[in-house]
Amino acid sequence: MNKTILILQQEYLKRVKKKSFIILTLLVPILFVGMFALIIALSVHDDKQERTIAVFDESILFLGELEEEEFTRYHFIPKAEYEQLKSNIRESEFYALLYIPEHIYTSNSAQLISEKQVPIELSEQISRKLSRFLENSKRQKIIEEIGIDDLEERLAGTRTSIKLNTLKVTETGEAKKSSSGVAFVASYAMGFIIYFFVFMYGAMVMRSVMEEKKNRIVEVIISSVKPFQLMSGKIIGTALVGLTQVAIWVLLGVVGIVVAQSFFTPESAQQMSQSLMESRQGMGPNMQQMDSQNQVTEVLELIGNLNIPLILFAFVFYFLAGYLMYSSLLGAVGAAVDNDEDSQQMVFPITFPLILSIMLLFPIARNPEGPVAFWGSIIPFTSPVAMLARVPYGVPAWELLLSMALLILATVGAIWVAAKIYKTGLLMYGKKVSLKELIKWLTYKS
C-alpha cells in the first residue's frame, strides 16, 4: 500500500511539475475569458463605420422621415441620379442605395443595392425603420377613420406575448419550473467534459505505461513492487492530476468572478449588458432593461431548480468509474504493445464506445426518455457520458441505480482483465499481440 502511494505521488508530481501541464492549466481559462471578452467587445463596439445611404423614394412617403442614426445617414436623391448611381455605386460616396418603390404601402418590399455584403444589422435596421414608419402611418389612418382618440393606447394594451413556463412535478409532488434549454446545455456540457477527461487522462495513463515498457525500466520497478501496485498508483495519480486541473480552474473562476465584481459596479455591469443586448436586438432601452434583468434571474432560478447535488454526485461518480474503466483498459493496451502503431490498432476498439456515446448526446438531448437514451445510459461502456447527459432532465431512480451498479461491475471486470494483461504484457517484447493471445493471458495463473 505504501509503495502504491509512493508511485502515485511520483506520477502526480511528475505530471503537475511539467511545463505543459502548467501552461495548459493556465492557458485554458485565459483563452476562455479572452474569447468571451472578445465576443463581448466585438458585439458592443461592433460597427463603427460611417455610412451614407442614398435613398430614392418613389413613394414619396419617407422624405425627411428617415432619422439619422449614430453611424448611418440617409441622403435623398432624385430618379435621374438613382439611375446613374445604380450601375456605379463603387465610385460614388454612398455605401448603398435604398430604393423604395411606389407601392411599398401594399407590396411591403424595398431594395437595398450595394457593392459589398451589407451587414445584417444594417439591413435589419433599415427594414425596421421602414416597417415602423409604415405601421405608424397605417395605424394613424385607422385611428383617424374610426375617430376614437385613445385607440392607440387601447391597442397597445392588446399586445400579448405568451411565455411558456415548463413546470416539472418532482417525486414529492412539488411543481418546479424547469427549462429544457438549461437542461440541454447542462447535459451537453457534462457529457463533453466527461468524455474529454476520460479520453485525455486515459491516454495519458497508456502513454506512461508504454514509456516505462519502452525504457525497459519496468523490470526494475516490478522487482520492487507488484504490477498491480504500479498500475493503480499510476491510474490514481493521473486521476488526481485531472482533479487538480479542475480544482485550479474552479478556483480561477471564483477569483475571476470576485475580481470582476469589484471592478464593475452593478450599474456598470448592467450598462454593459444593456448595451450588449441593445446592439444585438436594437430594441427600445426600457423594454430591454426589464427583459435582461428578468432573463438573468430566470436563468439563475432555472439553474437552481436543476438537481445540483444529484448532478454533482453523478458527475463525480461517472467520471471516476468511467475513468477507472477506460484508463485501466488503455493501460493494459500500453503494456501489451511495444510500438505506437500497434497501440493505435488496439486503442480504437476500446475507445469506440466512448466516441459512440458522444454521438448519442444529441438524440439523448432530444428525447431523454427514448430507447437510445435508455440503453445508452444503462450499458456500462457508454453510460458515463450518456447517463450524465440524462441526469439534468431527471432520471428514474431505478434506472440510475441499475446503470451505476452495472458500471461498477464493468469497472471491476475491466480492472481484473487489465491487471492480467498488464502483468503478462509488461515483459513481453518483440511480439505482435493478437486478440487471441490476449484472451489466453487472461487464463494465466497469477
Burial class (CB in 10 A: 0-12, 13-18, 19+), 440: exposed
446 binds another protein per the rule CB under 8 A: yes
Which triple of cell numbers denotes residue 333? 493496451
At its nearest, how many Å lie between another protein and the CB of residue 199?
A: 23
- Note whether 442 and 420 are within 8 A (CB): yes
- How many CB atoms are located within 10 Å of the residue 368 CB? 22
**How many CB atoms within 10 Å of residue 138?**
11
CB of 440 to another protein, least distance (A): 6
CB 432 to another protein: min, Å: 15
Which of 215, 262, 286, 434 is in the footprint of another protein by CB under 8 A?
215
Give the residue, chosen from 138, 139, 216, 431, that forms a contact with another protein under the rule CB under 8 A: 216
Which sign does the torsion angle of CA 287, 289, 295, 301 carry?
Answer: negative
5 binds another protein (CB under 8 A): no
Task: Please identify, among the stretches 7-15, 244-252, 291-299, 363-371, the one whose residues bind another protein according to the rule CB under 8 A.
Answer: 7-15
7 or 407, CB closer to another protein?
7
**Distance separating alpha carbons of residues 437 and 20, to the nearest angstrom:** 37
DSSP letter (8 states) at residue 431: -
Q: Among 2-10, 37-45, 109-117, 413-421, which window interacts with another protein (CB under 8 A)?
A: 2-10
- How many CB atoms neighbour CB 3 within 10 A? 14
Chosen residue from 14, 51, 177, 207 binding another protein by CB under 8 A = 14
For 139-195, strand residue ranges (E) read 166-169, 175-178
User: Judged by CB under 8 A, which of 22, 251, 259, 427 binds another protein?
Assistant: 427
Find the part of the chain contacting another protein (CB under 8 A) among 208-216, 297-305, 385-393, 400-408: 208-216
How far is Cα 224 from Cα 235, in angstroms, rounded to an integer? Answer: 18
Q: How far is the CB of 441 from another protein (least distance, A)?
A: 9
3-state secondary structure of 307: coil
Is the Cβ of residue 7 or residue 389 nearer to another protein in the bound state? 7
User: Does 445 engage in binding with another protein (CB under 8 A)?
Assistant: yes
The reply on whether position 16 binds another protein by CB under 8 A is no
Q: Decide if residue 255 touches another protein (CB under 8 A).
A: no
* DSSP for residue 200: H
Other CB atoms within 10 Å distance of the CB of residue 222: 17
Radius of gyration of the chain from its Cα atoms, rounded to whole angstroms: 32
CB of 290 to another protein, least distance (A): 59
Question: Which residues of this protein are in contact with another protein, per CB under 8 A?
Answer: 3, 6-7, 10, 14, 211-212, 215-217, 219-226, 427, 429, 440, 445-446
